[in-house]
Amino acid sequence: MFLRNKIVSKLHNFMILPAFILFFIFFIYPLIKGIGLSLTDYDGMTKANFIGLKNFVDFFHDSRAKNDVINTVLFALGSAPLLNIFGFLYALLLDSKFKGKSIARTIIYLPAVVSPLIMGYIWYFILQPQRGFLFSTLARLGLDLTNFNWLGNRYMALWVIIVVNVWQFVGMTMVVYLAGLQSIPEEMHEAGKIDGATYWQRIRYIVLPMMIQPIKINVTTNIIGSLSVFEIIMALTDGGPGYSTESLSIYIMRMCYGSSTGYSTAVAIILFLIILLPVLISLKLMKSKEYDV
Amino acid sequence: MRKFLKIIAILLITLLALFPFYILSLLAFTPSSMNFAKELILLPKGYIENFGAAWEKAKMGRSILNSLIITLGAVTVIVSFASMAGYAIARVKNKVNRLIFYLMLGCMMIPGIINTVPLYTLMIKIGGINTHWAMILVCAANALPFSVFLYTGFIRGLPLNIEEAAIIDGCTKIGSFWRIVFPILKPVTSAIIIINGLNIWNNYAQAVFFLQKQSMRTIPLAISMFYQQYGAKWHLMAAAAMIGLAPAVVIFIIFQKYFIKGITAGSVKG
């Protein structure tokens, strides 16, 4: 205990300072100012006037904002479960020993290395009607769908974006699950086999209970990520047709450029609350061992 | 049979992941006059002039340099600041450290967009618009919470004995951190370099705001230019994208063997 006190000294208290100062100046200070701005009618140019909670009240009468909330939530409801299910299945598939294992893992992760903006552009090229790669190749093979416009259809476009998003980030989810799978000792599998458990029974009763931590990480990051979706939608549909794929972050960006700065920060705070709710619920549901700091 | 099906499935999902890269190379190595609706092209033509044209038109050399400076700078700041903070939080259990830790964790959920406008006015005040250093600090600040979280989780799992031994052998306290603890953190550090390096290399949302001058453009800004300003010049965009992707992919492949280890150590077991 004596030595412990000697190592952990006052000096070590200061080791947190550089990170905290940087974080304070470039994150917390603007955050506090942003909260202040949300209570004003600031338009980016003229002086900001305090208007209380008017921006927040306006939000509830803003039909475009409502539409965007629905889009954003639908996107997350589609993306987050699909990412987790496929990420988990991919991880199970790649957990076994086979030749080229690490090459396969690297390749599956590769799409996540590319910026969603650029991936969005490439998928736009593939999926665009008439001249796109997919439909023109299908047409050559005798299947003429050239007039079929997935991205231009207000009922389908959002689902196409969800699929592209899942396709791009499934590798990321997979890696976290793989890490979890590899921390399960081999003996547990052996014990299950000896007791005569089938493959799926072993997954259900041995693997899943030990995966709570990775599930927690993946579910939280996927919820946060999909509720603040931005670049991939910009690249694929730019929010259209109409506003049928516009997400809340795109709306915030547009309002912010379009001289409704105060209002846009208010909407951003609402987006934060929308993110906070499912994250807190999912953390509560998956509560396992407590962190002790 | 089961094994055979498994291999087929793995092969399929690998091909699926590679599909857009195939399309990208098809576009980049094909002259612009090619029309996919009129001609069936299934293999790249080996036409390389797009790369030169894209390089020149988007001033890719300059963009790569900008992206490199910002990414390397920010990653250096993140690794050194976050490892120290993670150490303090894991080893010194007092109220201040706990408060800072939870504050940072809470901020992981905040969409960056709330900050953008006030950050923009702050940047104008401190003269940070169109500068490398300000972009480095903004990117680093955004990445700190997750990095501190990973470091803290990992350091908690380390036994104190090694540091005790170092102190007995006459190492200074700060020395024991940089010379003894920091090298042990290599797996997490690699994971942090990959995750943040890629995010910053691909950063678009902040770059679009804070780097408006042509000469300050980063890779994603340069690539999106072919889409937005010149009206979907696919062949040039693809060539530029391939140039911009190359460094990220190479770095990822070099570090990827530490990647899973780092994720396991820092978060899953945490």
Mutate one of A45, A107, A118 to test the B interface: name it (highest B CB count within 10 A).
A118
Instruction: Take residue A198 and report the two structure tokens written for it.
Output: 């089938």
Is residue A140 predicted with pLDDT exceeding 80? no
Nearest CA in chain A to B3: A98
Average pLDDT, chain B: 84
Distance of CA A33 to the CA centre of its chain: 26
Helix (H, G, I), strand (E, B) or coil at A40: strand
The beta-carbon neighbor of B263 closest among A12, A16, A179 is: A179
Could you count the other beta carbons within 10 Å of the beta carbon of residue A1?
5
Q: Is the pLDDT of residue B231 over 50?
A: yes
Residues of chain A in contact with residue B202, where contact means CB-CB under 8 angstroms, are 114-118
Distant-in-sequence, close-in-space partners of B174: CB < 8 Å, separation ≥ 6:
A11
Query: What's the one-letter identity of residue B269?
Result: K
Query: A111 to chain B: nearest residue by CA?
Result: B17
Q: Which member of B6, B20, B121 has the closest CB to residue A123?
A: B20
- Among chain A residues, the shortest Cα distance to B150 is held by A217
Beta bridge partners of A40: A50
From CA B89, how far away is CA B102, in angstroms rounded? 10
* pLDDT reported for residue B36: 66
Contact A244, A157 (CB under 8 A): yes
Q: Taking residues A225-232, what's their average pLDDT?
A: 89
Q: What angle do CA A38, A43, A44 make, to 5 degrees?
A: 100
Q: Which of B13, B16, B25, B221 to mutate to test the interface with A (most CBs of A within 10 A)?
A: B13
Tens of pLDDT, residue by residue over B113-152, are 778 878 888 888 899 899 999 999 999 999 999 899 888 8
Question: DSSP character for B158?
Answer: S
3-class SS at B221?
A: helix
Residue in B6, B148, B167 nearest the CB of A96:
B6
Residue of B nearest to A174 (CA): B260
Q: Which residues in chain B touch residue A18, judged by CB atoms under 8 angstroms apart?
A: 80-81, 84-85
A22, B223: Cβ pair inside 8 Å? no
Among the partner residues B81, B104, B163, nearest to A18 by beta-carbon distance: B81
- Res A3 pLDDT > 70: no
B140/A34 Cβ within 8 A = no
Spatial CA neighbour of B191 closest among A5, A121, A109: A109
A104 neighbors A94 (Cβ within 8 angstroms): yes
DSSP state of A131: T
- Which residues, including other chains, have CB under 8 Å from residue B39's CB and lie 6 or more apart? none
Q: In the predicted model, is pLDDT for residue A17 greater than 60?
A: yes
Confidence of residue B68 (pLDDT cuts 50, 70, 90): very high
Most B CBs within 10 A among A1, A95, A97, A122, hence the mutation to make, goes to A122
**Could B85 and A16 be called an inter-chain contact, meaning their C-beta atoms sit closer than 8 Å?**
yes
For B155, which residue in chain A has the nearest alpha carbon? A293
pLDDT in the model for residue B268 = 54
Query: Mean pLDDT over residues A194-222, rounded?
Result: 85
Q: Which residue of B has its CA nearest to A135?
A: B37
Residue A16: closest C-alpha in chain B? B85
- In percent, how much of chain B has pLDDT > 70? 90
Contact list in A for residue B145 (CB cut-off 8 A) is 23
Locate the chain A residue with the closest alpha carbon to B4: A98
Pairwise CA distance, residues A229 & A238, whole Å: 12
Among candidate residues A159, A178, A207, A161, the one with its CA nearest the CA of residue A102 = A178
d(CA B166, CA A20): 27
- pLDDT reading at A7 higher than 80: no
Phi-psi region of B130 (alpha: psi -120 to 50; beta: other; left: phi over 0): left
CA–CA dist A183, A185 (Å, integer): 6
A267-277 confidence digits (pLDDT tens)? 988 998 998 88
Give contacts of A35 with chain B, Cβ < 8 Å: 114
Quick one: average pLDDT of A146-155?
78
Chain B residues with CB under 8 Å of A34 CB are 114-115, 117-118
Residues of chain A neighbouring B252 (CB-CB closer than 8 A) = 106, 109-110, 113
Model confidence at A1: pLDDT above 80:
no
Which residue among A22, A131, A180 places its CB closest to the CB of B268? Answer: A180
Cross-chain Cβ contact B257/A132 below 8 Å: no
Query: Counting one residue from A and one from B, how many pairs have CB atoms under 8 Å apart?
Result: 268
Q: What confidence score (pLDDT) does residue A153 get?
A: 83
Number of H helices, E strands in chain B: 13, 0
Of the partner residues A108, A140, A279, the one whose CB lies closest to the CB of residue B13? A108
For residue B270, the model assigns a pLDDT of: 44
Q: How far apart are CA B195 and CA A226, in angstroms?
A: 18
Would you give the distance in Å from CA B263 to the centre of its chain?
15
What residue ranges define each of the domains in chain B, with the CATH number in brackets? Answer: 1-47 (no CATH), 60-269 (1.10.3720.10)
Q: What is the mean pLDDT of chain A?
A: 84
The alpha carbon of residue B53 is apart from the nearest alpha carbon of chain A, in Å, by 19
Give pLDDT, residue B16.
92
How close is the nearest chain B Cα to the Cα of A33, in Å? 6
Span A186-214, mean pLDDT? Answer: 84
* Chosen from A2, A6, A8, A45 to mutate, greatest number of chain B CBs within 10 A: A8
Inter-chain residue contact B109 with A272, CB threshold 8 Å: yes
Comparing B176 with A17, the larger pLDDT belongs to A17
**Cβ atoms of residues A174 and A218 within 8 Å:** no
